[in-house]
């Protein structure tokens, strides 16, 4: 599932390849995109920038037109030299943007829309995004204050993009393990030191998982939180239910939580409720 690090890498690479290029072709299987392009053709416009905001990706074209996409669970952007065969089947294509030298293909993208700058400024979902963990102006104090207002378990709070943008289900479990925090504790039950540790760990992990833009567009090397180069030891707890904790050996536990019943993984020994061993 694409999280903030994946979108950040995708945006950087798309910007590097396409910024300043003129669109020579556009097609989509999404009728609502085609309706806009019929009235406001994309061909001939210049791609001005590509940026990520949390899990959202924004492609800005000349003439006040912005393509907003959200990957949800399975969406992805691929880049190919013009004429090269795609690695995904054509039936998975949702959006195709062509320039003279390269093409950008959006596969299985479930959320896509064209916006103007005015639309973007008023966009309800984008306006409600919390501070982006990969933004240089990220404000940890604002995030801590927002966390204090939440009554849900901290695991669910981390997935709330209105608190801070960029964390998905994998990072949620990994961050809480590294911060030694019980995923089911509520912010009111945690000290400032614990919440500050969660925020700092979140920022450090997303930054550590952002590779230079020349390396990759998708997480081909896999998301890592352990710093191990062993491909079998990329993560501490996520997806390891029933297996021994890499630190203490206790069996990793898992439970479906939240409205979407997403699995949370944790170590019952390293993340004991009420402890603050690192504070």
Residues labelled catalytic:
2-3, 55, 262
Q: How far is CA 163 from CA 145, 166, 173, in A?
A: 9, 10, 17
What strand order describes the sheet that includes 102-107? 25-28, 93-98, 102-107, 76-81
DSSP string, 136-199: TT--HHHHHHHHHT--S-HHHHHH-TTTSBS--HHHHHHHHHHTT--TT--GGGS-HHHHHHHH
Sequence-ordered list of residues with C-beta below 8 angstroms from that of 154, at least 6 positions apart, any chain:
147, 176, 181, 182, 183, 184, 185, 186, 187, 190, 198
Collapsing DSSP states into helix, strand and coil, what is residue 85? Answer: coil
Collapsing DSSP states into helix, strand and coil, what is residue 1? Answer: coil
Q: Which helix (H) or strand (E) holds 53?
A: strand 47-53
135 burial class (0-12, 13-18, 19+ CB within 10 angstroms)? middle
Q: Are 123 and 115 in contact (CB under 8 A)?
A: yes
Q: Are 93 and 99 in contact (CB under 8 A)?
A: no
């Amino acid at each position: 599932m694409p999280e903030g690090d994946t979108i950040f890498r995708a945006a950087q690479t798309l910007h590097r390849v396409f910024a300043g290029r003129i669109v020579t072709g556009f097609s989509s299987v999404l009728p609502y995109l085609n309706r806009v392009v019929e009235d406001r053709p994309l061909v001939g416009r210049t791609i001005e920038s590509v940026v990520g905001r949390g899990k959202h990706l924004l492609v800005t074209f000349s003439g006040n037109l912005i393509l907003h996409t959200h990957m949800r669970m399975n969406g992805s952007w691929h880049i190919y030299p013009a004429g090269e065969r795609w690695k995904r089947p054509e039936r998975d294509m949702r959006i195709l943007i062509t320039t003279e030298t390269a093409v950008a293909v959006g596969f299985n993208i479930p959320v896509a829309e064209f916006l103007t700058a005015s639309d973007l400024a008023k966009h309800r979902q984008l306006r409600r995004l919390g501070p982006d963990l990969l933004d240089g102006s990220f404000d940890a104090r604002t995030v801590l204050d927002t966390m204090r207002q939440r009554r849900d378990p901290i695991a669910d709070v981390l997935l709330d993009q209105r608190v801070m943008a960029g964390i998905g289900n994998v990072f949620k479990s990994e961050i809480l393990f590294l911060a030694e925090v019980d995923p089911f504790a509520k912010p009111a039950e945690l000290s400032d030191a614990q919440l500050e540790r969660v925020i700092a760990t979140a920022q450090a992990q997303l930054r550590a998982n952002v590779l230079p833009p020349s390396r990759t567009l998708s997480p081909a090397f896999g998301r890592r939180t352990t710093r191990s180069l062993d491909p079998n030891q990329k993560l501490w707890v996520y997806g390891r239910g029933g297996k021994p904790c890499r630190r203490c050996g206790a069996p990793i536990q898992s439970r479906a939580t939240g409205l979407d019943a997403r699995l949370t993984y944790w170590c019952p020994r390293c993340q004991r409720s009420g402890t603050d061993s690192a504070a």
